[in-house]
Amino acid sequence: MELIDKKNLDKLTALNNSHVLKIVNEFITLCKPSKVTIITDSEEDINYVRNRAIELGEEEKLNLKGHTIHYDGFFSMTNHDQARDKAHTQVLVSKEELELYPWINTMEREKGLKEVLEIMDGCMNGHECVIRFFCLGPKNSKFSILALQLTDSFYVAHSEDLLYRTGYEEFKRLNDSDDFFYFIHSSGELTGNPPVTKNLDKRRIYIDLKEGRVLSVNNQYAGNSLGLKKLALRLGIYKANNEDWLTEHYFIMGVHPKGKNRTSFFCGAFPSACGKTSTAMLPGQTIVGDDIAYLRVWEDGYAHSVNIESGIFGIIKDVNAKDDPVIFRALTTPRETIFSNVLIKDGAPYWIGDGRPIPDEGFNFSGRWKKGKKDENGIEIPLAHPNARYTIRIEELDNVDPNLHDPNGVPVHGILYGGRDSDTMPPVIESLNWEHGVFLGASIESETTSATLGAEGVRTQQPMANLDFMVVPLGKYIKNHQKFGARLDHCPKVFATNYFLKNEKGKYLNGILDKLCWVIWADGRVNGDFKAIKTPIGYIPEYADLKILFKQYLDKEYSEKDYIAQFSIRPKKILEKLDRIETMYEKEQNVPKFFLNILKNQRKSLKDLQRKFYIDNISPIMLKKLSDQEKLD
């Protein structure tokens, strides 16, 4: 504690928490910063963080008031610090647990701790360490979990001010409890101007479930460095699935259909770069959260949900005035916003797909940039990274929901699951019941994108869009979802969406804003407004309803030809998907019986459909006739 002056030490001891003091002492001694600063909830302290990020060059001011730019490390298009590093993100478990998680990176706990603590020895040399306190979820809420953060990156600390609720005063109410998560982060040795992490080969992000902590070093990209985000998601999943609630990779939105005096709240899970934020930000709707939610069974018989965050760390690629008007307006007007890894020209940010003329030159993550610039391997460097981001407070948005900070959360009426699927599933289907909804969520597939390091376009399984963050056996996770729904008097209806269906020529069958009609249809199903066609994979919309919705919401003619192309059932492709799901879950222990029965019954129903029609694509018109006939029978 010698590095902490009296003023800062007084802030720390005022918490009356011996566990916080022990953690701070341990990691200050290990990481060896040159200075330690304690940040409370005061505006003065928070302004200090914001200003130091500028002074140290981690951020630079842009033309519009409140706008700054941050760059993460870059050496080449294949060697950079601008996406989540799956290979070096390890979950530390006991030797006995190593075989329980075939789909994530695990490491024997003692071995992992030895390695990462050795790397962290002296990692903050010459740096100032800032100690932060946050609340994951609304204040004074039984949903929420507190978080302690130590970092030597003022960009990280500033980002957390935009993304999370302050928690210093909340820590005072812990009464010396150790019921909080904690996160230790260091950028490590820096190089260049702006300063970026030098030793990416020693980048490590280790999640220690036993201690409820994350140790992260030699990185700056927020997906690796902001412990409170996806790393805290893992800790939350572990805690929730060993108790009686859920931590999910969900947005939360309020759906407000035209002409109806109601709000339905939907959660939704989509893998990275699959339309999650743009769905949560649909025009005319309200947003409670875009990324991570805690859910509990509430006294009214509904599942209630809260956003653990109060900001958005979103992918900026393809955000433009036409397709994402709410986000675009927020990003092009004065307000506190951090851009990362985009192009700057004359103090203004530009990104891929922003709908504006592209400057011929400027400054980006690679330094001075001009069209045609290539990296050391001859790969062309784009004006902005495909995984470039923006960080902004939700309260700065025009469509923020008034329930954002409600300590009781909001009731969940529906759940949307989505992936990136070019040739198999329709744009939207409704599950047959809650258990089938769990199956739909656990069966998400997605084609990989630039949001993670590695090859793009590879089809991967993404149960509940959560596999990357899963830290309990999948069988247990799925069973807990089934049990959670069984405890509810009012189960949410579950829907699966797919915005990325293509025709045989590779052209998308969905317009970017068509998702608004799929969501409004789901709201109508929740509230009994629409009938639907029953199929082996779930309920699909009737053409007449969609025709009205497209005209009403998008002023767009929706043809029966488009409807048939989008909502035809493809038994051969779906059966192939079921085979892939079965192969994945064969690796799992204790897969619930209900899940395997659904898989078996769906396969049988699809084969029956094949025998009945003898074609690969069965149109929704034919399926409606079949459904109507079965009702008569």
What's the Cα-to-Cα distance from 632 to each of 570, 609, 629, rounded to whole Å? Answer: 25, 18, 5
**Predicted local distance difference test score (pLDDT) of residue 1:** 64
Q: Which residues of the chain does CATH 3.90.228.20 include?
A: 248-310+404-632
For the stretch 195-249, pLDDT in tens is: 999 999 999 999 999 999 999 999 999 989 988 988 999 999 999 999 999 999 9
What value does the mean pLDDT take over residues 158-180?
Answer: 97
Kindly provide the b/e burial profile for residues 234-256, where b requires at least 16 CB atoms within 10 angstroms of the residue's own CB. Answer: bbbbbbbbeeebbbbbbbbbbbb
For the stretch 71-105, pLDDT in tens is: 999 999 999 999 989 889 999 999 888 877 777 88
Identify the residue with better confidence: 449 or 4: 4
Least confidently predicted of 20-34, 344-358, 456-470: 456-470
**Predicted local distance difference test score (pLDDT) of residue 616:** 82
Identify the residue with better confidence: 351 or 280: 351
What value does the mean pLDDT take over residues 465-480?
Answer: 91
What value does the mean pLDDT take over residues 257-284?
Answer: 90
What's the Cα-to-Cα distance from 352 to each of 107, 359, 481, rounded to whole Å? Answer: 37, 11, 38
The SS3 of residue 105 is coil
The rounded percent of the chain whose pLDDT value lies above 90 is 82
Q: Which residues of the chain does CATH 3.40.449.10 include?
A: 6-58+85-243
The second-level CATH assignment, the architecture, of 248-310+404-632 is Alpha-Beta Complex (3.90)
Task: Label residue 152 by pLDDT band (50, 70, 90).
Answer: very high
**Predicted local distance difference test score (pLDDT) of residue 73:** 95
CB atoms within 10 A of CB 280: 31
Find residue 459's DSSP bridge partners: 447
Q: What DSSP string describes 342-367?
A: -EEETTEEE-TT-SSPPPSEEEETTE
pLDDT at 550 over 70: yes
Q: Is 274 a catalytic residue?
A: yes
**Predicted local distance difference test score (pLDDT) of residue 281:** 86
Compute CA 157 distance to the chain's CA centroid, rounded to the nearest angstrom.
Answer: 19
CA distance 196 to 50: 18
pTM, full prediction: 0.92
Classify domain 313-396 at the CATH topology level: Phosphoenolpyruvate Carboxykinase; domain 2 (2.170.8)
For the stretch 224-236, pLDDT in tens is: 998 898 899 999 9
Catalytic residue, from 31, 129, 267, 274: name it.
Answer: 274
Q: Does the domain spanning 6-58+85-243 belong to CATH 3.40.449.10? A: yes
Q: Which residues of the chain does CATH 2.170.8.10 include?
A: 313-396
What value does the mean pLDDT take over residues 29-54?
Answer: 98
